[in-house]
């Protein structure tokens, strides 16, 4: 947003900038990713209002500290990509890993969406996972949308999923698969009902 800060506000910003930067560097990788997703949402969804967005960023910082208590394990997904036989603008991905066992149903859905989207952006092609039914072992359907104790947590989760699936590069997705699982697991603990 274009704005000019008045003298006292600019002084407050200058005085607290180093503390804010130190707070960001102190976050774990999952916490940092959550905070980045909230900041990205602030920059992308300007109609929400500055105060609401700043409160969301503050909440992301607090949750980012809490996520630091959750373990991050190394995860990977083995896959291959080849040309679609009928469409030059389309690629077909085959997943070879047991993502259901590694990530759980919803965690696997998030990780695979992030990976598929990142591969598509990297290749500048539409990508489909052809063996999805095998990956999920016939599990399907959906459950009701998770409910959280506040709209703020709901928006944090929504912005995080959008950021993971739409903004991370292929290298970042591969590097952060364990982080994605940790973030998913953290938000499951914040659900109030299933």
How much of the chain, in percent, has pLDDT values that exceed 90?
60
Q: Is the pLDDT of residue 17 over 80?
A: yes
Q: pLDDT tens-digit profile of 29-54? A: 999 999 999 989 887 765 567 778 88
DSSP notation for the chain: ------HHHHHHHHHHHHHHHHHHHHS-HHHHHHHHHHHHHHHH-GGG-HHHHHHHHHHHHHHHHHHTTS--------EEEEE-SS-TTEEEEEE-S-HHHHH-HHHHHHHHHHHHHHHHHHHTSEEEETTHHHHTTT-----PPPEESSHHHHHHHHHHHHHHHHT--HHHHHHTHHHHHHHHHHHHHTEEE-
pLDDT value at position 25? 84
Query: Which pTM value belongs to this model?
Result: 0.87
Q: Is the pLDDT of residue 178 over 90?
A: yes
Domain ranges of the chain: 7-67, 79-193
């Amino acid at each position: 947003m274009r704005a000019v800060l008045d003298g006292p506000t600019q002084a407050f910003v200058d005085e607290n900038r180093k503390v804010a930067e130190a707070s960001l560097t102190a976050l774990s990788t999952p916490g940092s990713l959550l905070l980045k997703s909230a900041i990205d949402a602030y920059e992308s969804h300007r109609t929400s209002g500055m105060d609401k967005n700043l409160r969301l960023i503050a909440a992301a910082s607090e949750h980012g500290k809490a996520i630091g208590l959750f373990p991050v394990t190394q995860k990977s997904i083995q896959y291959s990509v080849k040309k679609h036989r009928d469409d030059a603008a389309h690629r077909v991905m085959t997943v070879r890993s047991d993502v259901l066992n590694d990530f759980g149903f919803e965690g696997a859905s998030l990780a695979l969406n992030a990976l598929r989207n990142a591969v598509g952006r990297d290749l500048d092609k539409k990508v489909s996972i052809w063996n999805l039914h095998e990956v999920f072992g016939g599990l399907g359907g959906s459950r009701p949308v998770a409910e959280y104790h506040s709209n703020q947590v709901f928006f944090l989760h929504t912005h995080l999923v959008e950021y993971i699936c739409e903004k991370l590069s292929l290298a970042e997705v591969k590097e952060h698969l364990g982080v994605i699982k940790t973030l998913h697991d953290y938000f499951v603990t914040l659900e109030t009902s299933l």
